[in-house]
Amino acid sequence: MILRRVALTATLLIVVLKPQRGEAGLIPWSYQWSAQPTVVDADPLGPNHTPVGGITLTPGAITITGGNRGVALGNANIIAVNLTAFTFSPSPNGKPYSFTNAPYRLGITLTDAGSKQTGSIYFTGVFDGSLTDQTIDLHTYFTSATQQSLVLGHNRYTVSLTTYTPPDPPAEGGAGSIGAFVSVQPVSMPEPSALVLAGISLVTVTFSALRRCALP
């Protein structure tokens, strides 16, 4: 009978501790992207030649004096970085400026509004292609995982790089972008009060059973 009580209490404890599926709601959070470098230069044309063409990377949400981070509720599509092509002068040999595995890194810092916890995720990639004032043929390839996640407070944030739109030629001036999708889901956790009550119950019954077994 005593051992049966111990087994019953242990079973109840397992049920209490079993993670329960949380309800997804409009979880508030904020974010800020960063880019390194902020200007990706075209390949140099020679050892003494300074590149005069490149791609400018402008993060999708920037904190400035008097400004705000990007804010969102629940899942959201956001802009990681805006891309703008530029040339200051034609190539000396008349050929397009080239990009050969030109590296860059994007970072996103997430803040969970409920817990105030923050965390960062980083993505890396390269540009390949060519550029003139009137034309552009630019591609990007990611060298890191394009989907990464972290847990802040009681929520799991999963960030996925989802879209790439190349910029227009410098003469046209239109911006391209790299887009991302952020999924926010609650992480199931047992209630602290339930843990305490179940733990006390198990310890009490176990101690009682052991004490009775020890009596002559």
**Domain positions in the chain:** 24-188
Helix axes 192-214, 2-17, angle to 10 degrees: 160
pLDDT < 70 positions in the chain = 1-25, 51, 62-68, 91-94, 189-216
pLDDT of amino acid 21: 41
DSSP state of 197: H
pLDDT of amino acid 80: 97
Residues ≥6 apart with Cβ < 8 Å to 26: 73, 74
Nearest alpha carbon to residue 19 among 209, 185, 215, 207? 185
Tokens of 132: 């003139």
Residues ≥6 apart with Cβ < 8 Å to 134: 169, 171
Tokens of 73: 């509720």
**Checking phi first, is residue 116 left (phi over 0); if not, alpha (psi -120 to 50) or beta?**
left
Q: Is the peptide bond before 37 cis (omega within 30 degrees of 0)?
A: yes
Report H helices in the chain.
2-17, 192-214
Measured CA distances, 50 to 26, 88, 91, 154 (Å): 49, 11, 11, 50
How many angstroms separate the CA atoms of 68 and 170, rounded? 30
pLDDT of amino acid 70: 87
pLDDT of amino acid 159: 98
